[in-house]
């Protein structure tokens, strides 16, 4: 599947090894690219107890996978507003390690490393170029014609 991968300039914090320096893209990304998605799967480390408690309140289900807890959240209006407006961590980056957005059962958007790596699937080269415009000029973008899963 065709896709574009964005790598943002990163820094680190006391509790996170890689966070984006600039997260100004978040609201525009959310508003432009998530409206067609039915659900989101969010992964947080088990040691991130505050984030786990927060996600437990809105998750349809959850499961532990080794050192990570996975939450599946239906993207209704209330959950969308919450995730859009309460995703930033005061210590840098997004609150959650990895976020996977789904349209039906197909993964369409992946945000990893607390928001420093973003992949949008199913886009042609023109759509990929438009997607790249959301991010700072120093972001590194790669376009792939195929993705082997």
pLDDT digits (tens, 9 = 90+) for 7-60: 999 988 888 888 899 999 999 999 999 989 999 999 999 999 999 999 999 999
CA dihedral 118, 124, 126, 132 (to 10 degrees): 0
Give pLDDT, residue 96: 95
Instruction: Report yes or no on whether pTM surpasses 0.85.
Output: yes
Question: Contact, 12 vs 19, CB < 8 A?
Answer: yes
**Chain segment 116-148, per-residue pLDDT in tens:** 999 999 999 999 999 999 999 999 999 998 755
> What letters, b where the CB count within 10 A reaches 16 and e where it falls short, cover 82-98?
ebeeebebeebbbbbbb
**Chain segment 89-116, per-residue pLDDT in tens:** 888 889 999 999 999 889 999 999 999 9
Between CA 65 and CA 43 the distance in angstroms is 9
Is the confidence at residue 65, as pLDDT, over 80?
yes
Instruction: Domain ranges for the chain, please list them.
Output: 3-144
């Amino acid at each position: 599947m065709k896709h574009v991968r964005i790598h943002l300039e990163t820094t680190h914090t006391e509790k996170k090894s890689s966070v984006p320096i600039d997260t100004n893209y978040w609201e525009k990304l959310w508003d432009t690219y998530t409206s067609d998605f039915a659900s989101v799967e969010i992964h947080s480390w088990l040691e991130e107890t505050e984030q786990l408690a927060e996600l437990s309140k809105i998750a349809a289900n959850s499961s532990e996978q080794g050192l990570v807890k996975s939450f599946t959240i239906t993207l209704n209006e209330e959950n969308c507003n919450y995730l859009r407006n309460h995703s930033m961590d005061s210590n840098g980056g997004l609150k959650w390690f990895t976020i996977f957005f789904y349209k039906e059962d197909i993964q369409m958007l992946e945000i990893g490393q607390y928001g420093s790596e973003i992949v949008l699937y199913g886009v042609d080269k023109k759509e990929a170029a438009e997607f790249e415009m959301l991010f700072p000029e120093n972001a590194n973008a790669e376009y792939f014609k195929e993705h082997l899963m």
